[in-house]
Amino acid sequence: MTIKLYCMGESGNAYKAALALELADLEWEPVYVDFFGGETRTPEFREINVMGEVPVLVDGDTSLTQSGVMQMYVSDRTGKFGGNTAEEKRDILRWIMWDNHKLSSQAGMTRFLMNFLPEEKRPLEVIPFMQGRLRAAYTTLNTHLEGRDWIVGDALSNADMSCCGYLFYPEPFGFDRTEWPNIDHWLSNIEQTPGWKHPYDLMPGSPADRA
């Protein structure tokens, strides 16, 4: 049975799940959700996800929300990306939780404010504050990646696919990978992974579609 991922190309959190599905070679298909058209606020979508968010993964009778849970599901099904030892599994979970709190949440909000919110509604005093928090997160990640190819262990894991969720997007939000050499090297490793795709190539929906 084909796994369905309710998603949109602009969502970095959806990208985390889509990339895990793609690189695990599972049979899946994206189901486009028109976030900017208000679809996630409709009663019909709330039947799919009461939280009113993308992504949502549906595999037969299994329905999952939150990208980190979906990554764990992929690992449970395939044995990939979840770590080889108990220590690695804990460390991967540690970085997923760090990303959700310190990196992706800040990057997603800042990118939205700077690119998808009408200019007259942008809280200009908030954006520099958010970018400051992001720079602290980039520093943490860049320092950790010194001398490393991957965040945990010696291979791509869910920690990498979580932390990279927003870092391949072209819209400006205060991230220039050339300023962070260890992050740049790590992102290049992900890009060179067989089967890797950019979020706008992996999922339907991009700013160009709405231009």
**Interval 89-103: pLDDT, tens:** 999 999 999 999 999
Q: Where are the domains of the chain?
A: 3-81+197-210, 86-191
CATH number for the domain running over 3-81+197-210: 3.40.30.10
Closest by CA position to 157, among listed 25, 28, 20: 20
d(CA 48, CA 180): 39
Q: How high is the mean pLDDT of the chain? A: 97
CB atoms within 10 A of CB 17: 33
At 210 the pLDDT is 83
Gap between the Cα atoms of 129 and 138, Å rounded: 14
Distance, CA of 153 to CA of 126 (rounded, Å): 36
Q: Measured between alpha carbons, how far is 134 from 124 in angstroms, rounded to an integer? A: 16
Does pTM top 0.85 for this prediction?
yes
Torsion of CA 147, 152, 157, 162, to 10 degrees: -90
Token digits for 45?
């979508």
Span 125-134, pLDDT tens digits: 999 999 999 9
Q: What is the pLDDT of residue 1?
A: 81
State yes or no: pLDDT of 211 exceeds 80. Answer: no
Return the DSSP state at 99: I
Distances (CA, A) of 147 to 35, 54, 176, 181, 210: 39, 35, 20, 11, 41
Fold of 86-191: Glutathione S-transferase Yfyf (Class Pi); Chain A, domain 2 (1.20.1050)
d(CA 51, CA 54): 9
